[in-house]
């Protein structure tokens, strides 16, 4: 086999698509010096890089996701409700960003933990529960009509409380 620096066109190119940092690191160690490894957390990221496919992106060009009057702007590292910036921690903001990302769905404890904390989930949802508890309180304090709803034993989803006849 040729050296990693020589004959680049003979090097294999491996695309790794996984949200798990540890799995990406494991693959990088296995292939170290034996090819080029391009790592992506999800299919949207790989499409954006390989095809410059901005139409596939869940977020507008501003890097923000809007859900009614809730705006999660990851580039600016802030969340606002009805134009007012919410005092969220990084963990609270990242959990809310995940929950608000289209399509709205139930996120399992494992999915949230691995996305927000960026490490493998060890079957302990206490960190996720604690962060969601603080996030719910801050959304209530802001009189937000969006709420974090529990899917008992599974995880959480973001819902618009006004569309469910409650506030």
What's the CATH number where 149 sits? 1.10.10.10
Element (H, E) at 145: none
91 lies in some domain: yes
Q: Within this chain, do residues 13 and 90 fall inside the same structural domain, yes or no? A: no
Amino acid 43: pLDDT: 66
* Helix, strand or coil, per DSSP, at residue 131: helix
Q: Provide the residue-wise pLDDT of the chain in tens; the chain has 167 residues.
A: 444 445 555 777 777 777 777 777 777 777 777 777 777 676 666 666 666 543 333 444 456 788 888 999 888 888 999 989 999 999 999 999 999 988 889 999 999 999 999 888 888 899 999 999 999 999 999 999 999 999 998 999 999 877 654 44
Q: Within this chain, do residues 77 and 36 fall inside the same structural domain, yes or no? A: no
* Helix, strand or coil, per DSSP, at residue 86: coil
Element (H, E) at 48: helix 43-51
Q: Within this chain, do residues 12 and 90 fall inside the same structural domain, yes or no? A: no
């Amino acid at each position: 086999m040729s050296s990693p620096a020589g004959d680049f066109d003979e090097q294999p190119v491996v695309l790794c698509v996984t949200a798990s940092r540890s799995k990406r690191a494991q693959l990088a160690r296995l292939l170290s010096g034996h090819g080029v490894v391009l790592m992506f957390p999800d299919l949207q990221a790989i499409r954006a890089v390989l095809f410059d496919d901005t139409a596939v992106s869940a977020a507008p060009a501003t890097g923000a996701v809007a859900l009614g009057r809730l705006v999660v702007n990851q580039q600016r590292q802030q969340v606002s409700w009805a134009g007012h910036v919410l005092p969220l921690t990084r963990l609270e903001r990242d959990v809310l960003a995940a929950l608000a990302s289209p399509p709205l769905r139930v996120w399992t404890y494992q999915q949230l933990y691995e996305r927000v904390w960026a490490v493998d989930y060890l079957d302990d949802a206490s960190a996720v529960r604690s962060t969601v508890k603080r996030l719910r309180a801050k959304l209530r304090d802001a009189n937000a009509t969006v709420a974090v709803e529990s899917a008992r034993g599974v995880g959480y989803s973001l819902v618009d409380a006004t569309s469910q006849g409650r506030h």
